[in-house]
Structure formats: structure tokens, C-alpha cells
Amino acid sequence: MDDGRPIFLQLAERIEDGIIDGTYPDEGQLPSINEFAAFHRINPATALKGITRLVDAGLVYKRRGVGMFVAAGARDRLLAARRERFADSHIAPLLAEAQTLGLTTDELIDLIRKDTPS
């Protein structure tokens, strides 16, 4: 786990990915802090910080003595947020690379059409 940003952010994002792809369904239970720490070989305090971020965002909630659960509607909210960021996070780098390769926007659109499963 390392793309240069703080580990707790990366953990939070991985859990978000899990919520989006259905690994952790709405109202489903998440692994414990210690399980996340052991699995990713990170400090438990770091894991706690990552989870706390999701709790603060209302995506995950804690049930005392039971564990942590995905909040209802978390997936929809994450999808909306990721779609909003899509232009910056994916389109901009795509255009930059296309420009380096000398691909025009029309060629790019053709490529996308060709690779889109119908």
C-alpha cells in the first residue's frame, strides 16, 4: 500500500472502493481495525485514522461492542462523489497522454467507442 499519500487516506479509499464494488454492502459489517492493520501491515492507529475519516463522513458507523458497519446509502453517495471527480481524476490525465501521443479528440472518442462493450 503506497502511492505516496498518507497511509490512512489510502486505507480509507480502499474501503470506499470496497463499498462501491459491493465487497462491503450497505449495512454490512466491516473487518475490525486490528484486522485491517494486520492485513495491510500498518500501524493500528493509522488504520483507526482511516476508518475515523469514513465515520466522520457518515459512510461508516460504529455499534459499540459489535463493530463497524457501512451506512445505508453510502454506496450511492460515494458514486456521486466519484463521478463528480471523474473529469479531474481520469479525463485530464487521459487527454494529457493523448496529446503526448498526437491523438486527436475525435480519434480518442473513436477509441473509446470501439472499446466500449455494447
Residues near other proteins (CB under 8 A)? 1-8, 33-34, 37-38, 40-46, 49, 88, 92-93, 96, 100
In the complex, minimum distance from the CB of residue 29 to other proteins, in angstroms, rounded to a whole number: 18
Contacts of 59 (CB under 8 A, 6+ apart): 16, 19, 70, 71, 74, 77, 78
In the complex, minimum distance from the CB of residue 61 to other proteins, in angstroms, rounded to a whole number: 22
- Cα–Cα separations (whole angstroms), residue 57 to 10, 16, 19, 52, 118: 15, 11, 14, 8, 36
3 vs 106 by CB, closer to other proteins: 3
33 vs 51 by CB, closer to other proteins: 33
